[in-house]
Amino acid sequence: MDSTPYDDREQTAVKHEILARYLSAFVPIVGDWASDIAYIDCFAGPWKSIDPDLKDTSFSRAIHVLRSTRSVLKSRGKSPTMRCLFVEKDLAAFEELQQFCKGISDLEVTAKNWDFTEHVTDIVQFATQRSSSFPFIFIDPKGWEPLEIILIEPLLAVAPGEVLITLMTSWILRFLSDSSKRFERIFGSDWNRLASLQGEEQEDEVVNSYATSVRKAGHFNYVCTLPVMKPTQDAFQFHMIYATRHVKGVEVFKAAEKHTIPFMHETRAKAQERRRFLRSGQRSMFGATANYREMKYTRHQLRNLAVAKAELKSKLETEGELSYDDAWATAMQHSAVMDADFREWIQEWKDAGLLKITNQAPRQKLARGGNQQYLRWKPSQ
């Protein structure tokens, strides 16, 4: 069977796809007004890379995107500086990273052999050293210890700026009840409650709790989450936590999610087919997708649809009126919830006489982006 550099680590391929898709849209948007874009990878690696040119690494994918989007900006008459900071603690990995960086002359690239936990202040300084700069910070540790909120809070507080964090939920859930692991450093006083939960409820709440902590520490308006599945097991490997202060960021991240979820299922189908072939020596007559099985993500999607709809309804009932943008972003912070779902709920409530859309002309389509449309709950008859 055809092999790829991501064989047996398809979850990494999905993570890199999310990163690349988001950056591809993020950079042209920010580059329209920012004079400097800073991309920071706090745990750059490389790890388990088998491509001789390191194309299967996060930093290589990021460099490729920065180069391609720079040409897009140039066509608009924009030319922001682009800086990269790649941090790696392991010396052997750092030497590979440094060698890679030496071959880059068209971007400002800095590689540092730093222990992330000891250089957060230096990373903040890099992110903020130029005026009108917009940093994007990628925090992708192998474990959970570096994700303590008190440690990363200075990075979360950088404004303007956005962050993408890998929360290794599969490992956290395995050890959550072990008091020696000091999970209170990540979840604070919520740790005892989380440890008392079980199954998928516990997994959901671990993600929600950490996302809430990120939101508060960085004063973010929106935090989106996205689960990434293990290649051959019906389980989540980790969750991506994305934080932004602008509804446009949510829009771009949801577009990346909409593309990435089918990509994830496709790569998992191929991984499962490869595993069957290695066991039996026989290829499927119908292709990888015909034999693909998955229940975990579907259950997650159904739960999130119900939770997001109930949360939005509650917020409308409580506040009485929400801007269309705010209502949309409220729902979109839940993974697996898409624009079509939101529009369906709005239409349902509108048809039931529970909701009125203000400032909507006859036959005007719903739209986001400062159009001053508001959703008003239980309008007077």
| pLDDT at position 236 | 98
pLDDT recorded at residue 225: 98
Structure tokens at 92: 């052997």
pLDDT, tens digit only, all 381 positions of the chain: 567 889 889 999 999 999 999 999 999 999 999 999 999 999 999 988 999 999 999 999 999 999 999 999 999 999 999 999 999 999 999 999 999 999 999 999 999 999 999 999 999 999 999 989 999 999 999 889 999 999 999 999 999 999 999 999 999 999 999 989 989 999 999 999 999 999 999 999 999 999 999 999 999 999 999 999 999 999 999 999 999 999 999 999 999 999 999 999 999 999 988 876 667 666 665 565 667 789 999 999 999 999 999 999 999 999 999 999 999 999 999 999 999 999 999 999 999 999 999 876 555 565 555 567 899 998 765
> Mind listing the domains of the chain with CATH numbers?
10-270 (3.40.50.150), 295-377 (1.10.10)
**pLDDT given at position 362:** 59
CA distance 64 to 358: 44
CB neighbour class for 139 (10 Å; exposed up to 12, middle 13-18, buried from 19): buried
**Which amino acid type is present at position 270?**
K
Q: Is 222 helix (H, G, I), strand (E, B) or coil?
A: strand
How far is residue 318's CA from residue 310's CA, in Å, rounded to a whole number? 12
pLDDT score for 58: 97
SS3 assignment, position 137: strand
The pLDDT value given to residue 233: 95
Residue listed under structure tokens 């490869």: 274
pLDDT value of residue 353: 94
Our separate counts of H helices and E strands in the chain read: 13, 10
- Cα 313 from Cα 327, distance rounded (Å): 9
pLDDT for position 273: 87
147-164 per-residue burial string, b: 16 or more CB within 10 A, e: under 16: bbbeebebbbebeebbbb
- As given in the structure block, the two tokens for residue 158 are 């950088």
pTM of the full structure: 0.94
Query: Which pLDDT value is given to residue 290?
Result: 62
